[in-house]
Structure 1
Amino acid sequence: MEPFEPPIALDRTFDALYGLEVLDANDERVVARVAIRDQIKQPMGLVHGGLYASIAEATTSMATAAAVMSDGKAAMGLANSTSFLRPITSGDYVHATATRRHRGRTTWVWDVDITDDEGRLCATTRMTIAVRPRA
């Protein structure tokens, strides 16, 4: 897959800090990953749960924003509900696939599956994105 160019440069953002790589994206699906390293783990050696929520919010906000910017709209996270199913303690990457479930006038809803290198489901997020006029 070719790297995706988001509508806003990520190099000086929180997403760059934790190492988000968006591999493919459109207004229906986003594929991303984050390299596993000690800095994204909590003290017990598991990938930090906040990373999963951050990946979900970033990928879905970016994809929604890319789709609505040309209409003079902005997109931002409104609700993030992440359920943790199994820990990731090792491997090369945390993988994420976001799938759009609803495209409304003022809200979009996405489901994001977080998996390990073996394809096992480790967390799932329901993400609601607010779509509003840009200031």
Structure 2
Amino acid sequence: MFTSAESFTLCDAMWESHSSPFDLHYGLEIDEATDELVRAHVPVREHLLQPVGLVHGGVHASIAEALASVGTNVGVVPDGNIGLGMSNNSTFLRSIREGTIHATARRIHRGRTTWVWDVELTDDEGRLCAVSRVTIAVRPLRR
């Protein structure tokens, strides 16, 4: 188990070297990362909006999966494994038009081959806007 500082350092290094162009495109910024909790935010920008001016649901789902993947990888990469998205079930509760999307992922299951995370996404006022349950498959890392 890593301390928060060690986990963040490992996660930060992984994020710098393995972030996808997609996650960079929508502006994901990791604020804190351990193998139990990940916090991040995404500034709302025009290219994230549907034609009617609401943040696209796919943005919420993408944030959730990214956080679950980061948290899992903080825990499994040191053992020679990698976490890969397996399932993402997102429910949208309230729309966001502007400001910042804030996300918190909490690990609820740590198994040998799967980890499960619950993710809450809120607006600047702290109102719950979406929830996701994300399952991450743990597989051997092939270099």
| Alignment TM class, shorter chain as reference | over 0.9
Q: Which structure has more helix as a fraction of its residues?
A: 2
Quote the RMSD (CA, aligned, Å): 1.7
Aligned to 1:94: 101
1:133 equivalent in alignment to 2:140:
yes
After superposition, what is the alpha-carbon deviation per residue over 1:49-69, rounded to whole angstroms, capped at 9, x for unaligned?
Answer: 000000011111011112111
Shift of residue 89, structure 1, vs aligned partner = 1.2
1:41 equivalent in alignment to 2:49:
yes
Aligned to 2:27: 19
Shift of residue 13, structure 1, vs aligned partner = 2.1
1:118 equivalent in alignment to 2:125:
yes
- Matches of 2:88 and 2:13 in 1, distance apart? 21
1:76 equivalent in alignment to 2:91:
no
Alpha carbons 1:112, 1:124 under 8 Å: kept: yes
- Matches of 1:14 and 1:125 in 2, distance apart? 19
Aligned to 2:74: 66
**TM-score normalized by structure 2?**
0.87
Aligned to 1:54: 62
Q: Which runs of 5+ in 2 are unaligned?
A: none
After superposition, what is the alpha-carbon deviation per residue over 1:57-85, rounded to whole angstroms, capped at 9, x for unaligned?
Answer: 11110111121111110111000000000
Aligned to 1:7: 14
- Matches of 2:74 and 2:107 in 1, distance apart? 14
Alignment coverage as a number of residue pairs: 133
Residues 100 and 17 of structure 1: is their aligned pair in 2 closer, same or farther, counting only changes over 3 Å?
same
Aligned to 1:31: 39
Q: Which runs of 5+ in 1 are unaligned?
A: none
Alpha carbons 1:6, 1:62 under 8 Å: kept: no
Which runs of structure 1 show a deviation greater than 3 angstroms over 4 or more consecutive aligned residues? none
Match of 2:111 among 93, 98, 104: 104
